[in-house]
Structure 1
Amino acid sequence: MSLEAQFYWGGAGLIVLWFAAFGLSLVATRNGTVQAAPATQEFGPEPEPPAVVALLANRWRSVDHAAAATLLDLAASGLVEVRQPADDPANSTVHVTGKDAEALTPYERRVLTRITEQAGESGAPIGAIAFRAQERASSWNSALRREIIAEARLRGLSRSRLAPLLATALFVAAFGPGVLFALGGLTGGHNIRGAITVGVLPAIPLMYLLARAIGERATRLGLEREAHWAGVQAWLRAHEDFAQLPPAAVTMWDRYLAYGAALGVTTRTTRLLGFDAGDKHQVWSSYGGAWRPVRIRYPRLRLGFGATTAQLLQLAGAAAVVAVGLALFAALRQPEWAVTSGPDASHSLRRPGLLLTLGWVAIGLLAIAAAGRFSRWTLFVAFLATMPGNYASGHGWLLHAMDRSGPLPGETVAIVCFSAITAYYLTLAALELRAPHTVTGEVLRMEPRKRDKAPRFLAVDTGDAEHTIAWALPAGSPDLAPGSVVRLAVSPATRAVRSAELVTA
């Protein structure tokens, strides 16, 4: 065996050994089984806060419902007030009482700060607590999780799943196979850049798995407290109506409602109290003086959405190519072009199906080129469409299609549709010549699109309606933060934003 092969086989062996050590580490650091304590309504002499209980209830994997449970706990302590003015709990409001909040933990202060930002002095609907941007919601909840874990470790309930020495050893060992692979590459005559590339690649999946595994696990005390809170959970679930309690019921149930949210029992309350990115189709807004829900519609299938005048003319030209091309192809088509009978009919390039498809594909390729969307995938699809195997002799309509004078029924429908699309785009292009309208309002949400070059959705509340249609913000435009007030120059026909001016950050 050559020296190069020895290096490669040695690297492969190290990968197997790393996976074996990694698997043994995961098995050895699993959380122990918990035997739930008898059902009880007692919290204990020094009960953990609801946010920490949420970590225990989720087996140290997540802190789901911890923010909602903390809000209810703040309400139970008098720092926050939840009011339900009507029968629908979704219309409940949250208010900051202004009491002393010096003794709060970092995660409690984080939740209270978010409530204060939204509620101000007059209060806000509970739906307004949710964030309007996914990035901010993710970063906020990640910071909240770190602070809750720090509190759990401080109480001796949690620890890192992998000991620092073990995590470091696995981290260093992840680069061992890459070193041998790099040496194998150099021995085999590869340049330094290629050898480094071969050496780095094996470490990437290993580091990813190691990063996913570094989490939290319970201490002995943590397992004991988890068993106790499982008993509290059983006691709460014994009350049939407890799961349907609204957030305002905290005035009656006190901390029990907060612990019910942490333990996943008060399902109705946790659905209403969200600290995530919220519903992108409905956002609470106070722009205009009063809180109200604003429905947002995203015109994803609207033709010409966000297009400029030049783009509209280009699209109109592409649609016209299809309409005119099909009409000319149908008018010029002659029966003698095709071989419909005889021993060579199934092998001739003049088969009816092949001739028809070649004409349709050629018209489609011209239209795609006119629209500026031509790519190698277009040619690949065109090749598949014109493969000879698609035209068996059993397709009777192919034999009769060439005998018809004028367009086929499908061609007629396509000509009418693309003619209408051409007129539609030309009308939009004419409307774009008008002066843009000015719209001033608060940014509700800004949603990306799947294609990077596509315009983004920008939902703006002008303060005078309960519903709005998102505008098209060009892909290269600067981001507009939700909550800021902007002045837009827009084209109503295409919903395109021509310019944006920040009024208030």
Structure 2
Amino acid sequence: MTHIEQLYWGGAALIVLWLVAFGFALVATRNGAVTPGPATQEFGDHPESPAVVSLLGNNWRGVEHAAAATLLDLAARGFLELRQPGDDPARSSVHVTEAGRTAPDLMPYEQRVLARVAARAVNGGAPIGAIAFRDDKRAAAWNTELRKEVIAEARLRGLSRFRFPRLLAGALMFSAFVPGALFTVAAVMGGHNLRAAAAVGVAPGAALVYLLGRSMGERATPQGLERAGHWAGLRAWLTAHDDFARLPPAAVTVWDRYLAYGTALGVTSLTSRLLGFDGGDRRRVWSSYGGTWRPVRIRYPRLRPGFGASTRRLLYLAAGAALVAAGICAFAVLRQPDWSVVADAHSEGSMRRPGLVLSAGWVVSALLGLVVAGRMSRWILLAAFLAMMPGNFASDSDGWFVDAAAQEGPLPVEFAAIAVFGALAVFFVVLACLERSEPDTITGEVLRMESRKGKDVARFLVLDEGNTDLTTAWALPAASQGIATGAQVRLRVSRGTRVIRSAELVKRAMPEGDRVKPVGRPAS
């Protein structure tokens, strides 16, 4: 065995040893079993907050309901007020009380939730559905910071700790790159350039570090396991109440902090669903633009022809559709029955089968149109290949392909295709002419912005003009910058293609309580 082979085999052996050591570390640092205590309605002398309880109740894996539980806890303590005007809990509203406006000595995650509610309740109150974010990235960042703040308090209370001790985590991190170093030396000795050698060396280390990072998290302390058992007893007591799971958020006025703890422990299904601090519903957004809160339904015209296209793009699409119509028409008119022969035992490999002749004419016409329209890709070629396949199965002496190929003149399906693509070409030309007209000017508040697949593809921009409860998204060019959700803008738009030609900022987006500076304080 050469030295190069020894280095490669040595690196592979080190990877196996690392995985074995990592497996032992996972087993040694797993959480202990939580022993549920007896069913109880007592919180204890110095109870943890519902947010911390959500961490304990979720086996230290996450804080899924921490934000909703914290909102209910703030309402139970008088900092917020929840009102339900009718029978529909989804129509409930949240209001900041006078105590909430001057609330001192709150934990950082409580300040974060209170600031979010206060930012949305700008006119004295807001529907609970308006608490959700309009941007998925901002929602993810907000919840990430909330999780860090909840874990920080759990550690201060001695209930949680790092899963891996710092020394163990550092040793695993360092040793993950040792096999890659051996691979790099072997690659250099084997005559490879430095770039290839570095790639060979970094790849295994990066994979092992990624595996290690996915396993980093929290684990219980002995005191944490004890307190988790106590809260498991409270969960059992709350679960025994049949109607508790269906309580609306406004029931906090009757159930006080029990509703907050029930939400943290996953007992209340209705409040957990209604009080969302995530990215919200993409098709239904609460808006206060115009003075009053109202739900706005959103339509995304994903399949609308010409949506977001420029004048040049529309002309390309029109030319492509016209070419498809003309190609199918020419093929249907010029096609002769003797272009194909019926497949039999003596013509098994013939390329003149009726099915192949028909599908080839249609597919070639479609490909030419796609080339002109600029829509060719490897997936289109794969689809074209699959579209040719039916012709391979038309080997009988009779059948639809044989009868269709023997007919003179266009088939009904060809008449339909010519009409559809011809109408599509005319439609694109009309849109291109409308694009030359003076654009309309509209003003409103940006409700949502949605990305679409493709680097140069226009984004969806949802605008609330304040005069309707149903709106359709506009196409914002990918290069546009400086527009954010919540901002009031003046747009110059083309209604035919729903393209935004220009955007002018009227009023910047107001802070939404998603950038609260954490204020550290000892756990109470």
Superposition TM-score, scaled by structure 2 size: 0.93
Q: Distance in 2 between matches of 1:105 and 1:38?
A: 30
Aligned position for 2:412: 409
8 Å CA contact retained: 2:354, 2:391:
no
Aligned position for 2:354: 352
Q: Distance in 2 between matches of 1:84 and 1:386?
A: 61
Q: Does 1:498 align with 2:492?
A: no
Q: Distance in 2 between matches of 1:497 and 1:66?
A: 40
Shift of 1:97: 1.2
Identity of aligned residues (%): 61
Most deviating of 349-358 and 45-54: 349-358
Alignment counterpart, residue 182 of structure 1, candidates 170, 181, 184: 184
8 Å CA contact retained: 1:96, 1:121:
no
Q: Does 1:237 align with 2:245?
A: no
Query: Residue type matched to 1:259 in 2?
Result: Y
8 Å CA contact retained: 2:301, 2:473:
yes
Shift of 1:140: 0.3
Q: Distance in 1 between matches of 2:265 and 2:45?
A: 19
Q: Distance in 2 between matches of 1:434 and 1:242?
A: 60
Please give the per-residue CA displacement for 1:335-390, whole angstroms capped at 9, x wherever unaligned: 23333478753333433333323322221121011111123443444445557982
Aligned ranges 1:270-285 → 2 under 5 Å: 270-285=272-287
Alignment counterpart, residue 112 of structure 1, candidates 107, 111, 114: 114
Mark the CA change 1:155 to 1:344 in structure 2 (over 3 Å): closer, same or farther: same
- RMSD between superposed Cα atoms in Å: 1.7
Aligned position for 2:74: 74
Query: Residue type matched to 2:500 in 1?
Result: V
8 Å CA contact retained: 1:96, 1:120:
no
Q: Distance in 2 between matches of 1:218 and 1:342?
A: 75
Please give the per-residue CA displacement for 1:308-360, whole angstroms capped at 9, x wherever unaligned: 12211211111111111111111111223333478753333433333323322
Q: Distance in 1 between matches of 2:449 and 2:179?
A: 44
Shift of 1:241: 1.2
Aligned ranges 1:105-254 → 2 under 5 Å: 105-120=107-122, 122-254=124-256
Q: Does 1:463 align with 2:488?
A: no
Most deviating of 395-404 and 436-445: 395-404
Query: Residue type matched to 1:448 in 2?
Result: S
Q: Distance in 2 between matches of 1:87 and 1:355?
A: 65
Alignment counterpart, residue 422 of structure 1, candidates 422, 425, 429: 425
8 Å CA contact retained: 1:95, 1:121:
no
Aligned length: 505
Q: Distance in 1 between matches of 2:288 and 2:259?
A: 29
Aligned position for 1:373: 375
Q: Distance in 2 between matches of 1:380 and 1:406?
A: 30
- Unaligned runs of 5+ residues in structure 1 are none
Q: Does 1:447 align with 2:450?
A: yes
Aligned ranges 1:43-58 → 2 under 5 Å: 43-58=43-58
Most deviating of 475-484 and 341-350: 341-350
Most deviating of 293-302 and 91-100: 91-100
> What secondary structure does 1:162 align onto?
coil
Aligned position for 1:305: 307
Most deviating of 370-379 and 402-411: 370-379
Most deviating of 421-430 and 241-250: 421-430
Mark the CA change 1:20 to 1:346 in structure 2 (over 3 Å): closer, same or farther: same
Query: Residue type matched to 2:289 in 1?
Result: Y
Shift of 1:164: 0.3
Q: Distance in 2 between matches of 1:47 and 1:119?
A: 30
Aligned position for 1:321: 323
Please give the per-residue CA displacement for 1:393-440, whole angstroms capped at 9, x wherever unaligned: 226333333321101222122112112212222222222222111110
Q: Distance in 2 between matches of 1:84 and 1:454?
A: 43
8 Å CA contact retained: 2:343, 2:353:
no
Query: Residue type matched to 1:314 in 2?
Result: Y
Q: Distance in 2 between matches of 1:361 and 1:467?
A: 40
> What secondary structure does 1:201 align onto?
helix
Query: Residue type matched to 2:337 in 1?
Result: P
Q: Distance in 1 between matches of 2:205 and 2:137?
A: 28
Aligned position for 1:92: 92
Aligned position for 1:478: 481
Q: Distance in 2 between matches of 1:141 and 1:411?
A: 55
Q: Distance in 1 between matches of 2:94 and 2:389?
A: 66
Q: Distance in 2 between matches of 1:121 and 1:53?
A: 33
- Unaligned runs of 5+ residues in structure 2 are 509-524
8 Å CA contact retained: 2:344, 2:395:
no
> What secondary structure does 1:202 align onto?
helix
8 Å CA contact retained: 2:343, 2:395:
no
Shift of 1:121: 5.0
Superposition TM-score, scaled by structure 1 size: 0.96
8 Å CA contact retained: 2:71, 2:113:
yes
> What secondary structure does 1:481 align onto?
coil
Mark the CA change 1:82 to 1:495 in structure 2 (over 3 Å): closer, same or farther: same
